[in-house]
Structure 1
Amino acid sequence: MMAADIAPAFAPPPGFRGRLLRDSVLAPQTWFRVGGVAEWLARPVDAEDLAALLAALPATMSFCVLGAASNVIIRDGGIPGMVIRLGRGFGGIAFDDGGVVAGAAVLDATLAEAALAAGRGGLEFLAGIPGTLGGAVAMNAGCYGSEIASVLDWADIALAGGETRRLQAADLAFAYRHAALPAGAVVMAARLRTRADAPAAIAARMAEIRAQRAATQPLRARTGGSTFRNPPPAESTLKAWELIEAAGCRGLRLGAAQVSEQHCNFLINTGGARAAEIEGLGERVRARVLAATGVSLAWEIRRLGVPEGRR
């Protein structure tokens, strides 16, 4: 269905070149394979299209962005308002002398592979992050000792109302799994620093990261990646998985949702789980960890939308 064919409840901006769908099913697009529908789903084709869409949104309409949907629980009642998924114009990768400019829709692993092909080091850690560059910037994603904050020069964003802006790394006040983006900001592109390096050395580091992930994480399961953030050192010297282990939650189940036996900071859909079961299991884990250790775990997975029956 193209933009011109939709119901009249929301009119796309004149000349909108992307797709705009009503009541779009989201579950098949998420790693957990759960969740309801998007009231509206938009796929702007490029930055101009995105800015026009944001400018046309009513002030009363909420919106959010989905990338690879690898680190998200979409609740069973779906997402009211507008869900934005960036289209083909946000998938570019261009290297220069000191770095790379990439669109927000580029998969992190794809960018790592492109850097390998170009003989550019410094982005190997992206091979271990299951998501898009836009999401990685928004949450300062990282693994195995590296994170976006260590390589980002700038990010281009769009804001509600259609304004676009370039933010320098210092503007984002990066912290652990956090970037201080303005409310409602949509990351469109970013520049990351790289260094010249031998492809064989880059490939070896990427292979080590992938082997470590395969050995420790349930990669073949329907999961959403790391569920909880590691607590600040002042609260606990233990990582999230160690606290979950200490609270006796490894393998804990709620319906068809389960705490992974392989890595207990991962929740998995064993088949037929509902979003409410996965989120409820996470809250049960949080309660048990708090009771056992006094530490209140913070969600790393985003939870979007409303429970069933509340839309």
Structure 2
Amino acid sequence: MSKHTSLKVGGTADLYAEPEDTDDLLTLMRSLKEHQAPWMAIGRGYNLLVRDGGIRGAVISLARFNRINEVGERLIRAEAGAENLALVRFAQERGLGGIGYISGIPGTVGGAVKMNAGAYGSGVLERLESLTLLLGDTVTEYRREELDYGYRHLTLPVGAIVLAALFRLTECDPQETEEEIRKDTELRRSKHNVGFPSAGSFFKNPAGQAAWRLIDRAGLRGAVVGGAQVSEMHSNFLINRGGATAADFLELAKRVKDAVFKTSGVELEEEVRIVGEEP
């Protein structure tokens, strides 16, 4: 799985599949059910830490679910595997905006929806009209009002796979969107261009506080475990300096959490999704 995650760590999966479309995915799901094989779905591995023992069963990548369409007035439908920036650009070309703040967030629409990704006090689910999910062998659509979500989280039914999201956007001058993309890109480049593989922000920001400040206060900026390091540029980024293992990241994350709790009394919570087995 080190080949399929932005952290470049993780053991092997028993099966790795990239279905082409919903029909292809349904065929795969029926086969997995027939063989009673466990599975998990991923996007492009931007927010994922796979343990060194890998994953038993199947990993289903939605990388090929990357189609984006305009389906009505100010309505854009994006499949789960579409890149965030691609969605913003698609809307920009049609004079629509309102989600420019996700343009600089690495990852896909499915991942952005599942963690209600955002910036500057906004979350992408605020623009969501409906969400298309696969539950078992049934494709179901949920309106935003039916969903349970909040800061950096969305609660979905057990076993649900996000297939696509429908967004209701606002009319926006393309140049205004371009300026928003430019500012966001420059800001993230100056603060987040850590120069090594990472998963973006490793910890969620506690209410009213910034995780990086708490980590700095605990004296952990630049801390190293094996090939993993707390970035010296942005201390809420844990980076792979080369040859890191998942165990390195997990031990480093534990040290950070323990130190922050000791110095600030705050219990940090991982923003990355941690999956798989120990060796």
Q: Which deviates further from its counterpart, 286-295 or 45-54?
A: 45-54
Take 2:141 and 2:147, find their aligned partners in 1: how far apart are those partners? Answer: 11
Residue of structure 1 equivalent to 2:24: 49
Residue of structure 1 equivalent to 2:132: 156
Is it true that 1:210 corresponds to 2:181 in the alignment?
no
Secondary structure, in 3 states, of the residue corresponding to 1:128? Answer: coil
Gaps of 5+ in 2: none
Is it true that 1:135 corresponds to 2:111 in the alignment?
yes
8 Å contact kept, 1:111–1:126 = no
Residue of structure 1 equivalent to 2:215: 244
Q: Encode CA deviations 1:107-152: one digit per residue, 9 max, x unaligned.
A: 1111112122222111201212111111111111112332112111
Quote the RMSD (CA, aligned, Å): 1.4
TM norm structure 2: 0.95
Secondary structure, in 3 states, of the residue corresponding to 1:164? Answer: strand
Is it true that 1:279 corresponds to 2:250 in the alignment?
yes
Matches within 5 A, 1:58-69: 58=33, 60-69=36-45
Higher strand share: 2
Residue of structure 2 equivalent to 1:295: 266
8 Å contact kept, 1:218–1:260 = no
Is it true that 1:270 corresponds to 2:241 in the alignment?
yes
Residue of structure 1 equivalent to 2:164: 189
Take 1:109 and 1:137, find their aligned partners in 2: how far apart are those partners? Answer: 14
Structure 1 residues 293, 87: closer, same or farther in 2, change over 3 A?
A: closer
Q: List 4+ stretches of structure 1 deviating above 4 A.
A: none
Matches within 5 A, 1:47-196: 47-58=22-33, 60-86=36-62, 88=64, 90-95=65-70, 96-159=72-135, 161-196=136-171
Take 1:55 and 1:287, find their aligned partners in 2: how far apart are those partners? Answer: 44
The sequence identity of aligned pairs, in percent, is 38
Is it true that 1:261 corresponds to 2:241 in the alignment?
no
Gaps of 5+ in 1: 1-25
Q: How many residues align?
A: 277
Residue of structure 2 equivalent to 1:7: none
Q: What letter is aligned with 1:265? A: N
Structure 1 residues 145, 238: closer, same or farther in 2, change over 3 A?
A: closer
Structure 1 residues 183, 211: closer, same or farther in 2, change over 3 A?
A: same
Residue of structure 2 equivalent to 1:8: none
Q: Which deviates further from its counterpart, 43-52 or 200-209?
A: 43-52
Q: How far did residue 219 of structure 1 move?
A: 4.6
